[in-house]
Homo-oligomer: A and B are copies of this chain.
């Protein structure tokens, strides 16, 4: 049988971030805070003689060929020829870090197919470096590897992480796409200043409430908050909830029933509790590679 493996990687909604670039992509990235979600991306990698990378969007009838740049880079770096099947339960381009999830999932599952053995740190580094070089993300990969409500205390693939203890329901409404690349390749000094303030306030008072309040302030100060999202967030406030914008997507997220209580018809998920992992498809399979 062809060697194959499947990995699951949670979505990651960034609440606030600061940008840190160095000569080395492995040390470049962002500091910040976010929420990982129990919905995310499943990546199956099968050892095949031809490369094929396909993506199946939530609700789509089937998979289509895709060219997510960091996924192709990870396949190259692993030195494998493989069929990569990416299935997402979250929308692309809406601020859930789908490219990071697809890259990390390809690294974890691809590592099983590769000739050489890799550790989790090495695979995370592969995916992080590919994302940074492609300007598709700066901190999603490390956050998605960690899970929960991660606080990225240092930039880069191997920086220190902490977390806000928490679990529970998260609601979201997505209104369209937002170009991460455009923001990340522009002037990020205002973002970085606001992001550092937000992170300091959440480290000082590590609660879900403070996370949403710091994220909301970040969205306003950076000018990234659109009028449409501001209106939704204010409606959630008026209904007694809390909400913020997913960085970077035209998406509002709220804990608990915040969007429902404000009269919207949101999608819902849970705060992820475990981070990215290899998992086996077939319950009769021992999974011991």
Contacts and interface: CB of A to CB of B under 8 A. Distances in A.
Interface of A: 108, 111-112, 117-121, 123, 147-148, 151, 158, 160, 162-169, 203, 205-208, 210, 255-257, 270-271, 273-275, 277-280, 285-289
Given A280-B168, A288-B169, A119 B273 contact: no
Given A148-B277, A273-B278, A119 B165 contact: yes
Contacts of A274: 147, 273-275, 277
Contacts of A280: 167-168
B205 A117 contact: yes
Copy total for this chain: 2
| A-B pairs with lowest CB-CB distance, top 4 | A274-B274, A168-B287, A273-B277, A120-B163
Contacts of A166: 278, 287-289
B120 A168 contact: no
A208 B288 contact: yes
B120 A162 contact: yes
A108 B165 contact: yes
B169 A287 contact: yes
A5 B25 CA distance: 40
A121 B159 CA distance: 14
5 contacts: A119-B162, A147-B274, A158-B160, A169-B288, A208-B289
A165 B286 contact: no
The majority secondary structure among interface residues of chain A is: loop
Nearest to A151: B119
Nearest to A112: B165
A279 B273 contact: yes
Contacts of A112: 165
A201 to B, nearest CB: 12
A140 B165 CA distance: 19
A271 B165 CA distance: 23
B288 A168 contact: yes
A180 to B, nearest CB: 27
A169 B270 CA distance: 26
Contacts of A279: 167, 273
Contacts of A117: 205-207, 210
A105 to B, nearest CB: 12
A120 B275 CA distance: 14
A285 B167 CA distance: 10
**Which of A206, A273, A278, A288 counts the most chain B CB atoms within 10 A?**
A288
Contact of A121 (B108, B147, B162, B275): B162
Given A275-B274, A278-B273, A256 B119 contact: no
A147 B163 CA distance: 15
Given A119-B151, A151-B119, A286 B206 contact: no
